[in-house]
Amino acid sequence: MSETTEQTPRKDRTRIVLLTAAVLAAAVAGGMAWHYKDRVSTDDAQVDGHLVPVSCKVNGSVEKVYVEDNQAVKAGDVLVQLDARDLQARVDQARAALAQAEAQVASSHADTDRARSSYEQARSSDLQVAEANLEASRSTLATAKADLERTRPLAERQEISAQAFDAYKNRFEVAESQFKAAERRLASVRQESDIRRAGVGAQEARTAQAKAGILAAKANLEALELQLSYTRITAPVDGHVTRKSVELGQIIQPGQGLLTLVPLHQTWVTANFKETQLRNVRAGMEAEVSVDMNGKVLRGKVDSIAASTGSRLSLLPPENAVGNFVKVVQRIPVKIKLDPQDAAAVTLRPGMNVDATILTR
């Protein structure tokens, strides 16, 4: 009787424990179901960032290398210095050519001014003098001709002497010859004026050509100075040096890669979610990112959803137009931008693994 009495409370306690455990398990399961109801998660997520390749734009010999792998640099810092002596000599020659072209323009301007002054003189004073002489000769010729015509009847009637008539005739012939000489002089002055005007045009053309030479010399100088500036290879962004392959004394060619800069302050997360998980996911939703390296949880927001699946963007996309097609759930990349304050608290490097969770509520 005593043993039966002792077993009864023991069974009751067992039932209570089991019932309590069942209630707790149901509560935990319900809480977890409620907690994860509006969440989608994936462990197929990595940190992404910009990888900035640094290459050269001119060929040359490496004179100095100022950085090492994993070194932090600022935008504008000199990374590599090439031997610039050849380009510096070409720049000096281009500057001398520019100075020579400017001197030619100055000399051409002076020649143009002289040609224009000579033309103006021929067109104004010389031409006016020749025209005035022609008018004077014409007036003298007209007077001599009138005197000759008036004395001719008198000479025929012998009212004047033959010697007097010959004097009027000689005066007319001289006036006529002077008039023809004045005409020839005027024609010569006009021709000379046309020649000088053509000379002005030719000199202006030479001046324009000399000015074009200045433009060409300036363009050549600017191009060489730009190439000279390329001998100082600087950092385009803030970042850390990695994959450095340049060494002192190396001969490099345009376009040859020297190193890569990784701006660690500009990172984001690319999470590959199953297509069945993205039914309620939209840009702007809050997200949580758990970093595998240290277990820290960072806040973020969904920035965008890729326009294609990851397999379609791969190097060899799958070809499903076959008879033995097997349907596979695809994954779609989702870009998550981290909260700036949280991202500043931990250094994330491209390629690191993280777990991503999107709050879809």
The pLDDT, as a whole number, for residue 181 is: 86
The pLDDT, as a whole number, for residue 121 is: 64
pLDDT cut 90: percent of the chain above it: 47
Distance of alpha carbon 7 from alpha carbon 169, whole angstroms:
178
Say if residue 55 is exposed, middle or buried (CB neighbours under 10 Å; 0-12, 13-18, 19+). Answer: middle
DSSP per-residue letters across 190-211 = HHHHHHHHHHHHHHHHHHHHHH
Residues 359 and 339 sit within 8 Å (Cβ to Cβ): no
* Highest mean pLDDT pick, 107-121, 237-251, 301-315: 237-251
Measured in residues, the chain has a length of: 361
Indicate whether 111 belongs to any domain: yes
Distance of alpha carbon 237 from alpha carbon 52, whole angstroms:
8
Distance of alpha carbon 80 from alpha carbon 119, whole angstroms:
61
Do 236 and 159 fall into the same domain?
no
Indicate whether 131 belongs to any domain: yes
Indicate whether 90 belongs to any domain: yes
Q: Where is average pLDDT lowest: 67-71, 74-78, 136-140, 226-230?
A: 136-140
The pLDDT, as a whole number, for residue 30 is: 61
Do 192 and 77 fall into the same domain?
no
The pLDDT, as a whole number, for residue 260 is: 96
Do 201 and 95 fall into the same domain?
yes
Do 187 and 223 fall into the same domain?
yes
Residues 214 and 98 sit within 8 Å (Cβ to Cβ): yes
Q: What residues make up the domain containing 64?
A: 53-83+232-261
Strands 251-252 and 60-65: antiparallel
The pLDDT, as a whole number, for residue 4 is: 54
* Chain segment 21-39, per-residue pLDDT in tens: 777 777 666 655 555 568 9
Between 54 and 206, the higher pLDDT residue: 54
Residue 249 banded pLDDT, cuts 50, 70, 90: very high
**Helix/strand/coil for 133:** helix
Amino acid residing at 111: D
Hey, what are 150's tokens? Answer: 């008036």
Indicate whether 174 belongs to any domain: yes
Q: Which residues contact 43 (CB under 8 A, 6 or more apart)?
A: 353, 355
**Which H/E stretch holds residue 228?**
helix 162-229
> What's the domain count of the chain?
2
pLDDT at 5 over 60: no
Distance of alpha carbon 240 from alpha carbon 251, whole angstroms:
24
The single residue listed with the structure tokens 């050519």 is 97
Hey, what are 152's tokens? Answer: 């001719």
Do 160 and 221 fall into the same domain?
yes
**Helix/strand/coil for 123:** helix
* Chain segment 184-230, per-residue pLDDT in tens: 877 777 777 777 777 677 777 888 888 888 899 999 999 999 999 99
Do 197 and 172 fall into the same domain?
yes
Distance of alpha carbon 141 from alpha carbon 62, whole angstroms:
91
Q: Phi, psi at residue 157, to the nearest 5°?
A: -90, 5
Indicate whether 100 belongs to any domain: yes
The residue among 355, 292, 359, 361 whose CA lies nearest residue 42 is 355
pLDDT at 1 over 50: no
Do 144 and 178 fall into the same domain?
yes
Q: Which of 229, 246, 271 is the last residue of a domain?
A: 229
Amino acid residing at 275: E
Distance of alpha carbon 284 from alpha carbon 215, whole angstroms:
54
Indicate whether 22 belongs to any domain: no
Q: Which of 229, 252, 278 is the last residue of a domain?
A: 229
Render the burial of 5-14: b for 16+ CB within 10 Å, e for the rest: eeeeeeeeee
Do 241 and 151 fall into the same domain?
no
